[in-house]
Structure 1
């Protein structure tokens, strides 16, 4: 897939998961399930989830949990693919 249509598809994605005060552990199974059905999944890290860490660190940890790759982190939102 060429880079431009791929970027456009990623940009147009809706956020389907939100990580809150329960942390990434509460969304691992759901992210795994969504990645089985879709090419990309967009996740938003709410302020309560970030605490003293960055969205990039949380995205990396979540990707490790589900065996996915972080495509992009922008602000407090990350896009994953498998």
Structure 2
């Protein structure tokens, strides 16, 4: 993905609210299914990860796993919020 498209997606992401919250159970199969469904419907989504959801790893690592598992592109990670795009 080129830088201009990435910049455009980051800009678009500032206007949306997180659709999915990942809690202390972490990244479960049901969470992955819901993310896939939401990305299919909205193409650009935000996912909020609670500090307890990281399971001892940092949020960027979790975000990369999330993107890989849902076949999406990781656009941005800000604090505990992850932006995914398909």
**Structures share a fold, TM > 0.5?**
yes
Partner residue in 2 for 1:39 = 43
1:26-75 Cα deviation digits (max 9, x unpaired): 41000000011012110011011023111111111111111001000011
Give 1:22 deviation, angstroms: 1.0
* TM norm structure 2: 0.84
**Structure 1 segments (4+ residues) deviating >3 Å:** 1-7
CA distance, structure 1, for counterparts of residue 9 and residue 71 of structure 2: 21
Unaligned runs of 5+ residues in structure 2 are none
- The 1:53/1:3 distance shift into structure 2, 3 A limit, reads closer
Aligned residues: 82
2:16 equivalent among 6, 13, 17: 13
* TM norm structure 1: 0.88
2:31 equivalent among 27, 30, 55: 27
* Matched residue SS, 1:52: coil
Question: Aligned Cα RMSD in Å?
Answer: 1.8
CA distance, structure 1, for counterparts of residue 7 and residue 67 of structure 2: 24
